[in-house]
Structure 1
């Protein structure tokens, strides 16, 4: 590896070791190695090809449910079929060894939990379930594969994800509180272009960016990595592997 990268890894290890409270904020870029496309990479990002409000907004769902689900169900199914990659697994190991308090994620794919992360705040919701807009009855997400109508009242079903035009869920406000006193935030695979999540780094004393593309926070970050998240996080885990962190719980 280039000397500059190796020096940066040593700096990252130092930052994590000396920060009392470390959290991760993850975006779509951490899941690309699991085969899930991201949203804003030039030419290939989903929202670079489509207007998100027209295909993934709450008004789009209400206006034309058939078109909404014809567009979204396929990539949601891809999310649910995907497996965690080395980056997800590294974050789970960092949490287990006590170096990471938890993960705040913009992702709806559930891969952090599948990798073993215990403390995950899903600020854009998740694909585990859906509910009726009319009566509120909850269903497993697979219900949408069969019918978009509620079995109880006939109302329209929607996924428990944050669509464009939706308010933020409870997990977002919990994440804001969790970030209180955060000394180091690892931003991984997020373009930091979508508000209000893009403002969360301002709640941390120090920020490290691990992202293929530039972000608005690059100039204010302690370190910026353009390498893959799995590479950077694997090297971080290796550098910390014999040292229990401040949140280490042993075998309990």
Structure 2
């Protein structure tokens, strides 16, 4: 069975109503990103950080997967599909995708501040009073600026085995995730869905200058035609 790898970013979830990571002013929901998404911000004002992610968690409960999420999930009917996402929401899973690797953590999970491996489900608000069994402060299971990306090695290994790659909802500006496409096999076709693409179509790269909802469907149609013809 052919393998499709999907690299997704904030632009996919934006069409469901989730705010993108930061606006043109460098703010995220009115906050400097370093205040709410860095170890330094956590150390300085943990209550602010917890409140910020409580609001993100509440917002997530109010939105639903969109056409792009469902289109990606539907690929599993005919292919082995691995989603590698920079998003911390669960919209890919709710749409039906069964293999989702979250590079930057998951909003509906938490862990003790002193243990990166002790990950638990967390769907409600988190306060400064929530501690682990060892007494460590609980924190969102989010990879903040300056922290390692534990899933990066697995992501690189996965994309090296792809028969086709779809990139959607990401500006390809945030590293190390932005470099993942370069690990695809040389003969692997790559489809970039972006309404304002920073790249142009070239050998092996097809740029679809559309929003996620319509662009992903076009990419899926192209993949099906190309892989079917290559049998």
Matched, 1:84 2:84: no
- Where does residue 139 of structure 2 map in the other structure? 158
Deviation at 1:245, TM superposition (A): 6.4
Equivalent of residue 192 in structure 1, options 160, 169, 172: 172
1:1-252 residue pairs with structure 2 within 5 A?
A: 21-40=3-22, 42=24, 46-47=27-28, 50-98=31-79, 101-134=81-114, 138-142=119-123, 144-150=125-131, 152-169=133-150, 171-204=151-184, 205=186, 206-215=189-198, 217-218=199-200, 222-237=205-220
Checking the alignment, whether the CA contact within 8 Å between 2:65 and 2:94 is kept in structure 1 is yes
Q: Is there any run of 5+ residues in structure 1 with no aligned partner, and where?
A: 1-19, 247-252
Report Cα offsets for 1:38-74 as digits up to 9, x if no partner.
125536x754954322221122112211121223321
Relative to the length of structure 2, the TM-score reads 0.82
Q: Distance in 2 between matches of 1:186 and 1:241?
A: 12
Q: Distance in 2 between matches of 1:72 and 1:244?
A: 41
Report Cα offsets for 1:69-116 as digits up to 9, x if no partner.
223321232124321111000000012222x52211111101111111
Return 119-128 or 106-115, whichever deviates more. Answer: 119-128
Deviation at 1:159, TM superposition (A): 1.2
Checking the alignment, whether the CA contact within 8 Å between 2:8 and 2:83 is kept in structure 1 is yes
Residues 185, 41 of structure 1: alpha-carbon distance in 2 compared, 3 angstrom cutoff = farther
Relative to the length of structure 1, the TM-score reads 0.76
Q: Distance in 2 between matches of 1:209 and 1:238?
A: 14
CA-based RMSD of the aligned residues comes to 3.1
3-state SS of 1:164 partner:
coil
Residues 245, 97 of structure 1: alpha-carbon distance in 2 compared, 3 angstrom cutoff = farther
3-state SS of 1:118 partner:
coil
Q: Distance in 2 between matches of 1:138 and 1:22?
A: 28
Q: Which has the higher strand share?
A: 2
3-state SS of 1:34 partner:
coil
Residues 227, 122 of structure 1: alpha-carbon distance in 2 compared, 3 angstrom cutoff = same
Deviation at 1:121, TM superposition (A): 1.2
Report Cα offsets for 1:121-166 as digits up to 9, x if no partner.
1111112221112467654323543554305343211111211121
Q: Is there any run of 5+ residues in structure 2 with no aligned partner, and where?
A: none
Deviation at 1:183, TM superposition (A): 4.2
